[in-house]
Structure 1
């Protein structure tokens, strides 16, 4: 429902509530801040009430304490994924070589590069819209490539990657239609659909990761809690040492697969992939 040009903040809240927006008060404030005129406010609220993700309406998403451009048709970075970035930052050596696969807007790679003082950042995605958006966010911090998983990466990166982020799709195909309309309709299916059990893309990434990781380098991916045991076996079968980190606060499950370093390949890790509840230094109250 369009908002009257002279609508107050409270009227905007009412319009958003009627449209089913759970966080109507917060969204109304952001929309009022974003609008340069009453006419623009009316348009923004109309688009949000019609079901467009708030981040696509605003043109940006708040992630890991920074604002990232998020264009229409680009996957919106989730707050729970801040946990993955925090764990990656804890693992990254100084001046790390970082690769962000399935990068979407590029938010994960940029956030990690900033948190870990990365020496190199490389990101890639198969979606042209995502690549255009990521290039805006990455800027001169690194390089963004278009292509399927590892295919577009420079061969010179093989055996040099310290941290490999792979925010792969992990929703089982049969569950995609159960997702909220914001994701199901407005985000690319390739960023959501992980195949029959949700782990098809993860399997492809894990199988090839050892060729790209430096000794002791780590692959980090998200999964659902119910996929945890299978995902651990996927990582182990690829020759990486698996462990599971869990944020109960953010409902996030992260799989870490670490490449061997001589005979000490398992030192400091759980070879059985037992879950560990880890702190989340990036969480906001």
Structure 2
């Protein structure tokens, strides 16, 4: 048997040395995963069986190698829903919960919502969970990511399609109330600055978007304008350094009113919202 406190202390140190941003949290999450409990439930554990300790050491080693925590546990939590995630799909970030929350609040009763570039299906699933009155649609191009979204959205009532967000949903043109999107927005030249967890494990299709990181947002602006009814709203995430350039894509077209940028909980520019001019 191994002492739980000693295991956590050693794992936390190893993860900290490897540059993991949240070593204490991740060490505890991995041990809880191995033991089939929660982080809170670890306080009830004194001794860890050697087999479990060996499994834990292997997972800590992989996390020190910067594999995403969620790939190791197979689960990501997003607002009030649980998502299955793993290799081949972008792991949803807590920051994106703000965009989903905005959509939950602004969507009209019985309205139509579309989540473009849905990835794991996180935003679409949150909308279906919190606003069962909505008609929710989602699309993902990448085949492996689509398979994860299909798994996560099964039984939710969400209309999930595989295709290019620039061309899909022709049957809904001019009828949509809310469009959300977490598009790729990292400039190609920023490759080296991207955290290894994302750069080495998230699909590049979900990360990089041209020289300035705005190529997908330009496409999104045009497609959202076609999908939305007059007065419908668009919300999309962007990089923290794009707090002016991202909303500028919309403001420069003359098609949008009430263009606003919003900060995340850390005070960083995070997502843009706008209303299609009537």
Summarize the alignment of residues 76-155 of structure 1 with structure 2, pairs less than 5 Å apart.
76-141=91-156, 142-153=158-169, 155=170
Distance in 2, matches of 1:5 and 1:260, equals: 63
TM-score by length of 1: 0.82
Cross-structure match for 1:46: 61
Q: Any idea what the Cα deviations from partners look like across 1:209-237, whole Å, max 9, x if unmatched?
A: 12211232111112235433333332131
Deviation at residue 248 of structure 1 after TM alignment: 5.1
TM-score by length of 2: 0.84
Deviation at residue 195 of structure 1 after TM alignment: 0.9
Does 1:183 find its partner at 2:198? yes
Does 1:221 find its partner at 2:236? yes
Structure 2: 5+ residue runs without aligned partners? 36-51
Change (3 A) 1:136 1:252: farther
Q: Any idea what the Cα deviations from partners look like across 1:163-212, whole Å, max 9, x if unmatched?
A: 11111111111112211111111111111112111110010111121221
Distance in 2, matches of 1:242 and 1:228, equals: 15
Name which of structure 1's ranges 51-60 and 33-42 shifts more when overlaid on structure 2. 33-42
Q: Any idea what the Cα deviations from partners look like across 1:137-175, whole Å, max 9, x if unmatched?
A: 11122122222114343x322222111111111111111
SS of residue paired to 2:243: helix
Structure 1: 5+ residue runs without aligned partners? 262-285
Equivalenced residue count is 257
Cross-structure match for 2:270: 253
Summarize the alignment of residues 193-208 of structure 1 with structure 2, pairs less than 5 Å apart.
193-208=208-223
Distance in 2, matches of 1:210 and 1:89, equals: 20
Cross-structure match for 2:247: 232
Q: Any idea what the Cα deviations from partners look like across 1:103-159, whole Å, max 9, x if unmatched?
A: 111111111232333422211111111111111111122122222114343x32222
Distance in 2, matches of 1:150 and 1:231, equals: 18
Distance in 2, matches of 1:247 and 1:254, equals: 7
